[in-house]
Structure 1
């Protein structure tokens, strides 16, 4: 037969029975059960005070801990988490900013508090490839590069389509605009950019993807919107097709925007815009940013000294260049013959830099469009000139238009 198992409370109960019913003395009972008389008197006192429940082992954990987080502190952490959805790093910075007199716990403690209270859902780990070099390494100050994109359309509760246009400063991550539109046309987007230019001034470059209205299939990928930027002295930059990580700072903001404003969408178009406005205010002025040393974008950003002009400027070229105006059908005239360039440049002057007696390099502002073959009265686009180095701009590496080549620069 198997050995009989005994538990410690059962043995203590037998010890009490030995004292109560067998007329044994305390010394005799303690010797029999091999315990000290101090322990014997302790268990006897607990029996008389609490009955059988007093014979169970009690917790040895301290009743008070010098580093214990107060319940009101835990409540403040959870309340801010539920309101903002931030992680422990941002929560701690914001709480210290609001109530510096409180001894807020460490980041690791806040993380454990969120886990213990069901505020954290663990993500599935994925294998990651080694990161590439930063695509915006040249962005060394506010208004050097602005980033723009349409977040991706969705429908509000009333069935209306929303196309949020977002514009950020690449250096400070300041969210300049987050505007709900009813389409992605250049006509819809231009007033939003114009309002941003009037409020914050002009950047040196604007980075976007290759979709409309920022780019097109026209010469050098120009669109009506990018032509307007060039006339204002802003260089359009385009990422490589299928490489959203080259505009990763902006795409990361889109993830936060989607999580906090569109899951689920608002019931109406107007309420969705109010959500965007609230998000923009919190994102710029309250939400700490780890890449900025936990500062807010508003504390880093400064308006551009380049003011939006009162009238649209004209593009000018050196005196030794030829100048031609593009007609409504996309042609310009060269020695009484039409030469097709692009309809997107209708009404705009293009500059022709002489190479030799036959060839002329054609520019719109700082952007190299291709080469004019004066003998055959036709344009040679840049894709046709990759092996003809003598026809390419000699200082193309120094020109700001290098970002607009058919093959985007290696990042």
Structure 2
């Protein structure tokens, strides 16, 4: 009765504020219910206000940034697989620099999975340094259907301080330069396919050299990508340090299957976050925002235990150390 009356007297107050007010005035009551229990009491009595729309607005697409210099954005994708002359499957993986058009990688990988892509990016980061952002589609292993589209690969990029840019499903034109390169790559190296994976890889290497150093590109005043590209000053760190959050941010530990335990709720975030730590920011009496290194992933409703998924990681306003 005290809780309901207090809520009626202060209809904008949430569970935590109601409990703080009541416990300060009624010292004789030693044990008060948990905030989530208060939330259920309010809900049962139709005293819950609907969530404010401003929380849901954070789910909107992040605008793409413009590449103003080399290594601002790298574009990565798989060129559709095909069969070479001896019957073996060929899966080309490609990476370009969006500003210069420089073709950084054109390698056949055994399988289009996380391990092989990380191996290729490790080589690229050691050779060229790291970009500010990486633009991909929403396919495996770049993204998933989990919280904020996280995958093991994208979690690794976030921990390195690399911004994620994802094109919208069914809109390859948002990665148009890379798609045009793929068209040229296919025309010049795979029509028809070479006799083996070895000869096909040689054709890719020859194409890469020509594309970067010998082929004029109209988009860069008919000059060569190599004339506009230089290595990044952002080096791959020897080890990735834990994220650092402000003192008002609570640390949440994710278990080995991707669950977070908070205020009596067990909430599945993502298996890609297994054994990681997240920052939990209280943004209202009822809502907690999930931060991971330099991005925000979603919002937890502490009354219901429901998770509001962000479609993509959102750049966080919190100061954080990532990757160094």
Counterpart in the other structure of 2:186: 258
Structure 1 counterpart of 2:259, from 316, 331, 347: 331
Residue 285 of structure 1 deviates from its aligned partner by 1.0
Counterpart in the other structure of 1:168: 96
Does the 8 A contact of 2:290 with 2:298 survive in 1? yes
Counterpart in the other structure of 2:75: 147
How far apart are the structure 1 equivalents of 2:101 and 2:108?
Answer: 20
Counterpart in the other structure of 1:200: 128
Could you list the per-position Cα deviations for residues 229-278 of structure 1 after superposition, in whole angstroms to 9, with x for gaps in the alignment? 00000011100100000000000000111111111111011111111111
Does the 8 A contact of 2:294 with 2:315 survive in 1? no
Q: Structure 2 matches for 1:223-372, cutoff 5 A?
A: 223-335=151-263, 337-372=265-300
How far apart are the structure 1 equivalents of 2:317 and 2:213?
Answer: 36
How far apart are the structure 2 equivalents of 1:285 and 1:397?
Answer: 36
Residue 379 of structure 1 deviates from its aligned partner by 2.2
Could you list the per-position Cα deviations for residues 98-132 of structure 1 after superposition, in whole angstroms to 9, with x for gaps in the alignment? xxxxxxxxxxxxxxxxxxxxxxxxxxxxxxxxxxx
How far apart are the structure 2 equivalents of 1:164 and 1:373?
Answer: 43
Structure 1 counterpart of 2:148, from 216, 220, 224: 220
- SS of the residue corresponding to residue 158 of structure 1 reads coil
Does the 8 A contact of 1:166 with 1:176 survive in 2? yes
Larger RCO: 1 or 2 (CA < 8 Å, sep 6+): 2
Distance 1:219 1:398, change over 3 A: closer
Distance 1:137 1:368, change over 3 A: closer
Unaligned runs of 5+ in 2: 1-62, 319-324
Residue 314 of structure 1 deviates from its aligned partner by 2.4
Residue 188 of structure 1 deviates from its aligned partner by 1.4
**TM value normalised by structure 2:** 0.74
How far apart are the structure 2 equivalents of 1:256 and 1:144?
Answer: 24
- SS of the residue corresponding to residue 147 of structure 1 reads strand
- SS of the residue corresponding to residue 226 of structure 2 reads helix
- SS of the residue corresponding to residue 368 of structure 1 reads strand
For this pair of structures, how many residues does the alignment match?
A: 255
Residue 201 of structure 1 deviates from its aligned partner by 0.6
Does the 8 A contact of 2:86 with 2:195 survive in 1? yes
- SS of the residue corresponding to residue 206 of structure 1 reads strand
**TM value normalised by structure 1:** 0.59
- SS of the residue corresponding to residue 299 of structure 1 reads helix
Could you list the per-position Cα deviations for residues 306-347 of structure 1 after superposition, in whole angstroms to 9, with x for gaps in the alignment? 001111332232221011121112111213542221111101
How far apart are the structure 2 equivalents of 1:273 and 1:397?
Answer: 38
Unaligned runs of 5+ in 1: 1-134, 384-392, 401-411
Higher strand share: 2
- SS of the residue corresponding to residue 236 of structure 1 reads strand
- SS of the residue corresponding to residue 198 of structure 1 reads helix
Higher helix share: 1
How far apart are the structure 1 equivalents of 2:210 and 2:81?
Answer: 23
Does the 8 A contact of 1:332 with 1:339 survive in 2? yes
How far apart are the structure 1 equivalents of 2:317 and 2:216?
Answer: 37
Residue 355 of structure 1 deviates from its aligned partner by 1.2
Q: CA RMSD in A?
A: 2.0
